[in-house]
Amino acid sequence: MDEPIEMSLDPKDWSAFRRVAHEALNDALDFLETVRERPVWKPVPPEIRAQLLNEALPVDESPLETVYEQFRTRILPYATGNVHPRFFGWVHGAGQAGNIVAEMLAAAMNSNCGGRDHGAIYVEREVLGWCKQLFGFPSEASGLIVSGTSMANLVALGVARNARGPLRTSGVGQAADRLVAYTSVETHESIAKALEILGLGSCSLRKVPINRDATIDLSTLQQFIAEDKAAGLRPYCLIGCAGTVNTGAVDDLQELARISKTEDIWFHVDGAFGALCMLSEKLQHRLKGIEQADSLAFDFHKWAHVQYDAGCVLVRRADLHRAAYSMRPPYLQGLSRGLGAGQDWPCELGIELSRSFRALKIWFAFKEHGARKLGQLIERNCEQARYLAERVATKPELELLSPAYLNIVCFRVRAAGLDEKSLDQMNAEIVTDIQESGVAAPSTTRVHGRLAIRINITNHRTQFRDLDVLVNAVLKAFHSRLALRIPQLPDA
Amino acid sequence: MDEPIEMSLDPKDWSAFRRVAHEALNDALDFLETVRERPVWKPVPPEIRAQLLNEALPVDESPLETVYEQFRTRILPYATGNVHPRFFGWVHGAGQAGNIVAEMLAAAMNSNCGGRDHGAIYVEREVLGWCKQLFGFPSEASGLIVSGTSMANLVALGVARNARGPLRTSGVGQAADRLVAYTSVETHESIAKALEILGLGSCSLRKVPINRDATIDLSTLQQFIAEDKAAGLRPYCLIGCAGTVNTGAVDDLQELARISKTEDIWFHVDGAFGALCMLSEKLQHRLKGIEQADSLAFDFHKWAHVQYDAGCVLVRRADLHRAAYSMRPPYLQGLSRGLGAGQDWPCELGIELSRSFRALKIWFAFKEHGARKLGQLIERNCEQARYLAERVATKPELELLSPAYLNIVCFRVRAAGLDEKSLDQMNAEIVTDIQESGVAAPSTTRVHGRLAIRINITNHRTQFRDLDVLVNAVLKAFHSRLALRIPQLPDA
C-alpha cells in the first residue's frame, strides 16, 4: 500500500531542528555556567502566569523554534532556584551539568524500564550494585530506582506490611488493627503518609519522643514496644532516621538494629539525604547500623546532586520484595530469549510498570565525579553548616535554635520587646524578604515550637563566603523590619 | 573565610565540556534520524552485561568524554527499541525528537515540582488545564502529572477509598472488609495491584465477564452489584476501561457512568492508552461518558509519544483529592509570598514530595505538534491495525484471534497436525525469532486461552508497508520453524 502522505512526529527539516537543539543546549549550559550572576529566585510575573494558565490546548503545529522561544522567555527565568549557590531552602540538591547530557541521551533512547531485556535494565542493576556495596547490603539484596524517598518509603513499608501475611489478596482487614510501627517525632511525614496509603492508618504509627540531640529516645521506644505487646498489639516495624528534615539528626541506627532483632520486627531506615554520608570516610561512622537495615530509602537528587527526580529503595530480602509487588499477567510473561527475557523485571519490585531511564543520570553522576569527590562535597557542606552556626553564635541579634548536627542550621533573629508571636512573624517575613531579594533562599520550620530560619546546605556550589552573604542579608532584613515596626510600638 | 580550593561539580573547563555535550546531542539526534536503518532490537552481548554488572562503585573522577564514550559503546546500541517504526510490542510510545530538547532544558532548570512558587508549577497547571479541556472535566477539577497509569490508578483509587471515611488516620480496618470495586476481567492488572497496595486486597475487586467484543458485560455487572448489596457489602467503585491491553476494547463508558450515578459509587476510568483517542474527531465518540468520570488515568508516553515516563490523573472533586493526600508539616507551611507561596502544591495531590519537571516534555509535545496532528496519527494507527487484520485474514497460515477494535491485532500461525500446546509454543517462538532478527518487535498475550502474536500500533513512525514487512517476517519464521519440526513428526 502506498503512503500518500508521509506523516510522523519527526522533524521535516532535520538540519533546522538541529540548529534549534544546539542553541537550546548552549542556553542550558549558559544557564548553569552563569548561575552565580543571577538572583537565586524571582517570582513568576502575573502576566506570564496568566499567559500560561489561560492558553487553550494547542491545536496546530508550531516550529520547535517558536516553542523554544516561549520556553526561553516564559519558563527558564523562573526555576526553583536550587541550582544557585545560595539556595538553602528545604533539602534540595543543586544538580550538575553532566546530567543535562545524561537526560538528553536517556530521552533519545526513550527506554521503558518496567522490564524486558535491554541495556537500561543492566545500567539500573549496575547502579543498584553500587548502592548495595556502599551501604554494606548483601549482593543478593534487591532494589529499585524510584522518584525519591517518599516513594521508596512507601515501597519498603509495603514489603514490611506484606511480610506479615497474605495481605495482597485479603486486604489488611482486621489484622491491621493490631500492627504498630515506631519512629521518632522528627521523622519525615512521608512515613505516616505511606502508612495511610497502605491502609494501615497514621494512627498505627507510634511517634517516639526525642533526646536533646533530636535523635529517637531509645528507652521510651522500648517501653512503648513492651506496653503495646502487653496490650495485645503486634509491633512489626521500626523506622530509623538518618538525617531529620528539621535539624539533620541521625538516630542511633546500631541500637535500633539491635532492638529490631531482639523484637523480631522490620528495620527500615529513612535516609533521604543523610544516607549518602556513607560516601564520606569522615562521616560514615555516624551511620553505623545502616548496613543491618531490612530496607533503606534515600535520594540521589539531594546530596549526590543528580537531577530531579531520583531516589532508591534497597530491600535485604529480595524474596519478600518480589512477593509484595510481583504481578506478571499473560501479556507480561517472561520468556527465555528475545525482548521478553530476563528475570526480576523492575515492575515486579514496585508500583510502576512504565518507568523512565532514571538510572542513567545516576550512572553518569557517579562515573563523572566518583564517590570520593561526592563524599568530600558532603563533608564540606557539613563544615559550612558548622561555620554558619559559629557565625550565628557571634551575633547578638541572632539565636541558634539547633546546632549543626550535619548540614542544617536553624536560628532566628531576636529583639528585646518582641513577644514569641511577633518573633515568629518577623522571622517568617525575613525569610520571604530574602527570597524576594534574590540574594539567598532560606526556608522556615519550627524548632521547639519556635519559627526558625532554616538553612540546609546540600549544595556543591556553595562557598563559605556565601554564608557570610546570607548572615548579612538576614541582619539587613531584620534591621529594615525593625525600622518599619517602630511606629507601631506604643509611645514611650 | 578564604576558600583554599575551589571545588564543585561544575566543569573545570566549560568549553571542553560543551564540546562533548554538543557531540552527544548530535549522536542523540542521529540515533533518531537513522532509526529505520537499524534493527529494532538486539540483545545486550554477554561481555557488555558482564562489564556493566561487575564494575565496582567508581571512586575517582572521569572526564565527561570518557563517561560518554562508555555510554555510546555499551548502552546506546541496546535501547528497548520502541523508537523504531516496527516496534509493536506491549503498548509503548515511540518518543519524539523535540523531547530530547525538552528533557535537556528540564535538566538545566532542575526544578523540584513537589510545590512552592516557580515556573514549572504553572506549566504543570497549564498542561492539566489542557487535559481538563480535552476530557470535558470542569476547570475546578484537580490533577497531577505522574509517571504513568499504574501510579495514576493508585492515586485515583486512593481518593475513592478515602472518600468512604476517615481512613487516613484509622486505617481501612474492618470497614474495608465490606468495600467492593468492579471492573472487567480484561482490565489492566495495575487496578488490582493498586487495591493491594491500598490495603483493600485484590479479592475486594470483582471481575466482571466480558462480551464478545471484550467490553464489560453490563447486565452481569448490575447483577453482581445487586448480589453484593444484598449480602451486606458496600459497592464503592466502578472501573471502566478505555482500551484494554489485550485487544484495545473500550467499555461502554456512558452506561458505566449511568450505573455509577444510580448506585452512588465512584466511577474511575483507566484510559492508559485509549483515552487519548479524544484527540481524534473520528474516534472520540468511542469514549462517550469519559467526561462523567470521577477520576481518569492515562498516559502521555503511549499515544502522545511523550518520552518515558509521563502519565496523568484527573479527579473531578479537588476537595476529595486534596483530602486524600494533603500533608503540610511545619517545614512545608505555605506562605503568602516568596518561594513558599502558592496554593495546592502538587505534593498534596499524590504520593511524591520530590517531583521532576515532567510537565515540560508534555508541554513541548502539544505545543510543537498540536492536538490535531497527534489525533491524526492515532487515527492512522487504528487504520493500520485494520489493514493488518485484513492482511492476516487473507493468509491461510494465519488466524485472527481478535479484530482491530482500536490499534491492537492478535493473531497466530496455524497448521494442520499441530495441537494447541504446540501452536502456543510455535507462536511464542516465532515472536522471539522475529525480535532476534531485528526486523520487528511483536509481543505475546493470551486470547481465549490461546497464545497470540500481539501487534500493538502506538507508533507515529510506522507506515503501512511496515505491516507488510511484519506479515512476511511471521510467515518466513513460521515456515522455517515448520521445516525444523518435520523430523520430529511420526513417520508417515
CB A302, CB A378: distance < 8 Å: no
Q: Is B427 on the interface with A (CB under 8 A)?
A: no
Nine-digit cell at B454? 500481539
Query: What is the residue type of B196?
Result: E
What separation in angstroms does the CA of B310 have from each of A34, A307, A356, B305? Answer: 31, 17, 9, 10
A333 interaction partners in chain B (CB closer than 8 Å): 444
- pLDDT at position B233 over 70: yes
A110 interaction partners in chain B (CB closer than 8 Å): 79-80, 82-83, 93-95, 99, 307-308
Provide DSSP, A366-424.
HHHHHHHHHHHHHHHHHHHHHHHHHHHHH-TTEEEEE--SSSEEEEEE--TT--HHHHH
SS (H, E, C) B318-353: HHHHHHHHCCCCHHHCCCCCCCCCCCCCHHHHCCCC
Which is nearest to A119 in space by CA: A240, B176, B326, A127? Answer: A127
Q: Is B80 on the interface with A (CB under 8 A)?
A: yes
| pLDDT for the residue A429 | 96
Q: Tell me the per-residue pLDDT of B292-345, one tens digit each, with 9 for 90 and over.
A: 999 999 999 999 999 999 999 999 999 999 999 998 777 777 777 888 888 789
B201/A60 CB distance under 8 A: no
A376/B7 CB distance under 8 A: yes
- pLDDT at position A491 over 60: no
B111 interaction partners in chain A (CB closer than 8 Å): 79-80, 82, 308
| pLDDT for the residue B461 | 98
pLDDT band at A482 (very low <50, low <70, confident <90, very high): very high
Instruction: Point out the residue among B70, B311, B369 whose CB comes nearest to the CB of A61.
Output: B369
Nine-digit cell at B182? 468492579
pLDDT band at B176 (very low <50, low <70, confident <90, very high): confident
The residue to which cell 529499585 is assigned: A144
Evaluate whether the domain defined by A372-488 bears CATH number 3.30.565.10. no
| pLDDT for the residue A5 | 54
What is the rounded distance in angstroms from the CA atom of residue A54 to the CA atom of residue A43? 18
How many CB atoms within 10 Å of residue B383? Answer: 15
* DSSP H or E run through B168: helix B167-170
How many angstroms separate the CA of residue A216 from the nearest CA in chain B? 19
User: In whole numbers, what is the pLDDT of chain B averaged over residues?
Assistant: 94
* DSSP H or E run through A165: none
CB B227, CB B206: distance < 8 Å: no
- pLDDT at position B492 over 50: no
Q: Is B269 on the interface with A (CB under 8 A)?
A: no
Query: What is the residue type of A415?
Result: A
- pLDDT at position B4 over 70: no
| pLDDT for the residue B341 | 84
What is the rounded distance in angstroms from the CA atom of residue B240 to the CA atom of residue B243? 9
What separation in angstroms does the CA of B164 have from each of B134, B179, B236, B320? Answer: 29, 9, 8, 10
How many angstroms separate the CA of residue A491 from the nearest CA in chain B? 30
| DSSP-assigned beta bridge partners for residue B442 | none
Q: Tell me the per-residue pLDDT of A440-479, one tens digit each, with 9 for 90 and over.
A: 999 999 998 999 999 999 999 999 999 999 999 999 999 9
Q: Is A334 on the interface with B (CB under 8 A)?
A: no
pLDDT band at A153 (very low <50, low <70, confident <90, very high): very high
What is the rounded distance in angstroms from the CA atom of residue B216 to the CA atom of residue B222? 11
Q: Tell me the per-residue pLDDT of A61-97, one tens digit each, with 9 for 90 and over.
A: 999 999 999 999 999 999 999 999 999 999 999 999 9
| DSSP label of B210 | B
How many angstroms separate the CA of residue B489 from the nearest CA in chain A? 24
Sign of CA dihedral A463, A34, A48, A72: negative
For B445, the closest chain A residue by CA position comes to: A331
What separation in angstroms does the CA of A4 have from each of A219, B94, B99, B465? Answer: 78, 22, 27, 12
Q: Is A246 on the interface with B (CB under 8 A)?
A: yes
Looking at chain A, the whole-number percentage of residues with pLDDT higher than 70 is 97
Q: Is B360 on the interface with A (CB under 8 A)?
A: yes
Q: Tell me the per-residue pLDDT of A37-66, one tens digit each, with 9 for 90 and over.
A: 999 999 999 999 999 999 999 999 999 999
A18 interaction partners in chain B (CB closer than 8 Å): 26, 29
What is the rounded distance in angstroms from the CA atom of residue A356 to the CA atom of residue A351? 13
| pLDDT for the residue B333 | 76
How many angstroms separate the CA of residue A88 from the nearest CA in chain B? 12
- pLDDT at position B472 over 80: yes
CB B108, CB B331: distance < 8 Å: no
- Worst-scoring range by mean pLDDT, A325-339, A360-374, B142-156? A325-339
Nine-digit cell at B220? 452481569
Which is nearest to A61 in space by CA: A13, A111, A2, A109? Answer: A13
Q: Whole-model pTM?
A: 0.97
How many angstroms separate the CA of residue A227 from the nearest CA in chain B? 20
Mutate to test the interface with A, among B53, B101, B467 (most CBs of A within 10 A): B101
How many angstroms separate the CA of residue B460 from the nearest CA in chain A? 5
Q: What is the mean pLDDT of residues A423-447?
A: 96
Instruction: Point out the residue among B44, B120, B172 whose CB comes nearest to the CB of A122.
Output: B44
Q: Quick one: B258 exposed, middle or buried, by C-beta within 10 A (0-12, 13-18, 19+)?
A: middle
What is the rounded distance in angstroms from the CA atom of residue A406 to the CA atom of residue B480? 66
What is the rounded distance in angstroms from the CA atom of residue B383 to the CA atom of residue B406? 8
| pLDDT for the residue A331 | 72
| pLDDT for the residue B361 | 98
Cα angle at A466 between A425 and A462, to 5 degrees? 110
Q: Is A286 on the interface with B (CB under 8 A)?
A: no
Instruction: Enumerate residues 162 to 201 of chain A having a beta carbon within 8 A of any beta carbon in chain B.
Output: 167-174, 176-177, 189-190, 192-193, 195-201
Alpha carbon A399 to its chain centroid, in Å, reads 28
What is the rounded distance in angstroms from the CA atom of residue A122 to the CA atom of residue B48? 9
Q: What is the mean pLDDT of residues B417-446?
A: 95
Please, what is the angle between helix B359-394 and helix A64-74, to 10°? 150
| pLDDT for the residue A336 | 79
How many angstroms separate the CA of residue B479 from the nearest CA in chain A? 19
| pLDDT for the residue B389 | 98
CB A202, CB A192: distance < 8 Å: yes
Query: What is the residue type of A370?
Result: G
| pLDDT for the residue A488 | 52
Mutate to test the interface with A, among B74, B339, B432, B447 (most CBs of A within 10 A): B339
pLDDT band at B5 (very low <50, low <70, confident <90, very high): low
| pLDDT for the residue A1 | 46
pLDDT band at A349 (very low <50, low <70, confident <90, very high): very high
Query: Which are the contacts of A37, defined by CB distance < 8 A and separation ≥ 6?
Result: none
What is the rounded distance in angstroms from the CA atom of residue B332 to the CA atom of residue B117? 12
How many angstroms separate the CA of residue B290 from the nearest CA in chain A? 18
B432/A369 CB distance under 8 A: no
Nine-digit cell at A92? 534540595
| DSSP label of B398 | E
Q: Is the peptide bond before B309 cis (omega within 30 degrees of 0)?
A: yes
Could you tell me the fold of the domain covering B111-357? Aspartate Aminotransferase; domain 2 (3.40.640)
| pLDDT for the residue A3 | 52
Nine-digit cell at A409? 542550621
Give the architecture-level CATH label for domain A112-355.
3-Layer(aba) Sandwich (3.40)
How many angstroms separate the CA of residue B492 from the nearest CA in chain A? 33
Q: Is A43 on the interface with B (CB under 8 A)?
A: yes
Instruction: Point out the residue among B79, B90, B147 whose CB comes nearest to the CB of A109.
Output: B79
Looking at chain A, the whole-number percentage of residues with pLDDT higher than 90 is 89
Q: Tell me the per-residue pLDDT of A258-273, one tens digit each, with 9 for 90 and over.
A: 999 999 999 999 999 9
What separation in angstroms does the CA of B404 have from each of A253, A386, B410? Answer: 58, 66, 8
Instruction: State how beta strands A408-413 and A450-456 pair.
Output: antiparallel
| pLDDT for the residue A332 | 76
Query: Which are the contacts of A404, defined by CB distance < 8 A and separation ≥ 6?
Result: A248, A382, A385, A386, A388, A389
Instruction: Point out the residue among B52, B118, B307 whose CB comes nearest to the CB of A80.
Output: B118
Q: How far apart are the first and last CA of chain A?
A: 94
ipTM: 0.96
| pLDDT for the residue B334 | 74
A370 interaction partners in chain B (CB closer than 8 Å): 58-62
